[in-house]
């Protein structure tokens, strides 16, 4: 009666070791309780060395240095993505209206230039930001005297 350890594939993936008794016919019979067996277990397979992944191979090939990496992350401002798009939209609207009013001062296209520039630079968030700024800016603007100072006299 010879006893050996075999590897069995599990349903969910992976393997497990199982102690078996080799019968005269060559078939295996599972051994349920391994604590009762006093015979030495005979190993048939050698320990397989795990293959390194591609990442591990390149990582070990590189020379490791203990130098500290200096970067300018402390200098950069961390701005959320939506705030950046709002700022780009407001700037794009301002630039587009300024350029169109220089090229065609009395054109009816100038009213569409602001939202178009905001959309080009900041997407839909930029359009919303520029429209909101226009609404707030028009309410808080100081009233302009229609009559000039000399004409009032």
pLDDT score at 149: 54
Residue 41 has pLDDT above 60, yes or no: no
For 57-84, the pLDDT digits (tens) are: 565 555 555 566 556 555 566 667 788 8
Pairing of strands 2-9, 28-30: unpaired
Alpha carbons 127 and 118: distance in angstroms, whole number: 5
71: region left, alpha or beta (phi > 0 left; psi from -120 to 50 alpha) = beta
For 91-127, the pLDDT digits (tens) are: 888 888 888 888 888 887 777 888 888 888 888 988 8
Average pLDDT for residues 26-54, to the nearest whole number? 70
Residue 130 has pLDDT above 60, yes or no: yes
- What does the DSSP 8-state code read for residue 13? S
Of residues 44, 39, 33, the one with CA closest to residue 5? 44
* Cα first-last separation, the chain: 126
Model confidence pTM above 0.85: no
Identify the band that residue 7 occupies on the pLDDT scale cut at 50, 70 and 90.
very high
Q: What angle do CA 49, 51, 52 make, to 5 degrees?
A: 130
Alpha carbons 89 and 120: distance in angstroms, whole number: 8
């Amino acid at each position: 009666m010879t006893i050996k350890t075999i590897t069995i594939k599990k349903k969910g993936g992976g393997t497990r070791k199982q102690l078996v008794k080799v019968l005269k016919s060559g078939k295996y019979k599972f051994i349920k309780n391994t604590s009762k067996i006093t015979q030495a277990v005979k190993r048939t397979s050698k320990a397989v060395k795990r293959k390194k992944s591609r990442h591990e191979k390149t990582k070990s090939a590189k020379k490791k240095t203990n130098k500290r990496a200096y970067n300018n992350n402390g200098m950069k401002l961390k701005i959320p993505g939506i705030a950046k798009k709002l700022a780009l939209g407001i700037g794009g609207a301002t630039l587009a209206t300024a350029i169109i009013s220089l090229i065609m001062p009395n054109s009816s296209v100038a009213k569409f230039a602001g939202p178009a520039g905001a959309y080009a630079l900041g997407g839909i968030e930029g359009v919303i930001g520029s429209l909101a700024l226009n609404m707030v800016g028009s309410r808080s603007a100081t009233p302009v005297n229609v009559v000039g100072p000399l004409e009032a006299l």
